[in-house]
């Protein structure tokens, strides 16, 4: 095991998979000479050359369209979109083609492609560059949606995504790139797609979270442990498929749940998870489920107001306190 940043873990995953499989190649805006906006593709051009690390025009629709064709032709493209916000320009390719081609061809073709996209708020980038759009992709069947919280999971999930024969949306929170954690040195280390993980065992309340919200939830759980409140933190890791079993097993144990998401509350992931908890655990719940979500507003530029729109440790802590005390 080595300690490294989230950014370096992703970089290591790309290098290992490109060394392992000559059909893997990387494409996107500024991924080659500039080595990526967040430097995740650092050193790839020098090692693998311009045939396998390709700078593209500023056209997200084209990037994904080329990737689809390459995947159908037997390659394993890893496309980087500069931010998830720009994926909206490629939604026709993503939703009408990438997600449906294998189904419409009756399973006679595979589509082994991965789309990497940074996203999330908190960086003062304004309303058009600070969105959390994961539920857009989750809503469409035919593709996997992954959103790791730790460097170790980032590496293991990206390797699993690249090796998978189905299209994968791979989301990365911009505020996690510099976070550090333990990462396996094993080039065959894989994190299974579709499997959540209990990051911290607990007895009194389940906190379900993903991506940066998992990091904040763990911080809150550590603080509350000193006050005698035992929080079990479930990190989703995979948003589609969603590991319902791990979530429900945890809630059955604790009897209480707080669901944390950065995306907008309306039609958000938290509503889906809360619904499933009520469907399967209603009779054993000791208190109503509490959702902690991003506000239903365009993201402000002002730092102080932006923080009001995104769940913070204090927000999560208050939700846990409320669900424990019955003040909901």
**C-alpha triplet 165, 168, 39: angle, nearest 5°:** 120
Which is the catalytic residue, given 97, 129, 173, 204? 129
Q: What are the structure tokens assigned to 158, written together?
A: 């990206």
d(CA 289, CA 251): 10
Instruction: Specify whether 280 is catalytic.
Output: no
d(CA 16, CA 165): 18
Phi, psi of 125 (to 5 degrees): -105, 5
Phi, psi of 183 (to 5 degrees): -130, 135
Instruction: Specify whether 97 is catalytic.
Output: no
Q: What are the structure tokens assigned to 32, written together?
A: 């080659």
Phi, psi of 233 (to 5 degrees): -105, 120
> Contact, 182 vs 3, CB < 8 A?
yes
Give CA separation, 168 vs 64, 98, 135, 172, 283, in Å.
12, 10, 14, 13, 36
Which is the catalytic residue, given 16, 29, 35, 60? 60
- Which stretches of 142-209 are assigned E, i.e. beta strand? 144-146, 168-173, 180-183, 197-200, 205-209
Neighbours of 25 (CB within 10 A): 21
DSSP state of 54: E
Q: Which residues carry out catalysis?
A: 60, 129
């Amino acid at each position: 095991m080595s300690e490294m940043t989230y950014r370096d873990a992703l970089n290591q995953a790309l290098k290992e998979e490109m060394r392992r499989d000559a059909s893997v190649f990387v494409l996107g805006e500024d991924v080659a000479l500039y080595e990526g906006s967040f430097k995740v593709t650092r050193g790839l051009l020098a090692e693998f050359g311009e045939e396998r690390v390709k700078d593209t025009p500023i056209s997200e629709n084209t990037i994904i369209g080329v990737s689809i064709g390459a995947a159908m032709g037997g390659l394993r493209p890893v496309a980087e979109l500069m931010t998830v916000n720009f994926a909206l320009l490629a939604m026709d390719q993503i939703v009408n083609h990438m997600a449906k081609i294998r189904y419409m061809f009756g399973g006679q073709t595979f589509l082994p492609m991965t789309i990497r996209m940074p996203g999330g708020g908190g960086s003062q980038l304004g309303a058009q560059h600070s969105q959390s759009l994961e539920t857009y992709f989750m809503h469409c069947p035919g593709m996997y949606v992954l959103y790791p919280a730790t460097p170790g999971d980032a590496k293991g999930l990206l390797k699993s995504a690249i090796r998978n024969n189905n299209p994968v949306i791979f989301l990365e929170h911009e505020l996690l790139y510099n976070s550090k954690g333990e990462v396996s040195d094993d080039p065959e280390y894989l994190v299974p797609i579709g499997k959540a993980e209990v990051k911290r065992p607990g007895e009194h309340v389940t906190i379900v979270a993903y991506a940066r919200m998992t990091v904040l939830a763990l911080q809150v759980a550590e603080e509350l442990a000193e006050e005698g409140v035992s929080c079990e933190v479930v990190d989703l890791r995979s948003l589609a498929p969603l590991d319902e079993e791990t979530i429900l097993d945890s809630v059955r144990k604790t009897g209480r749940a707080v669901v944390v998401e950065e995306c907008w509350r309306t039609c958000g992931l938290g509503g889906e998870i809360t619904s499933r908890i009520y469907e399967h655990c209603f009779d054993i719940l000791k208190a109503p489920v509490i959702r902690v979500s991003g506000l239903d507003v365009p993201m402000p530029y002002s730092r102080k107001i932006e923080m009001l729109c995104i769940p913070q440790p204090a927000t999560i802590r208050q939700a846990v306190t409320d669900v424990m005390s019955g003040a909901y």
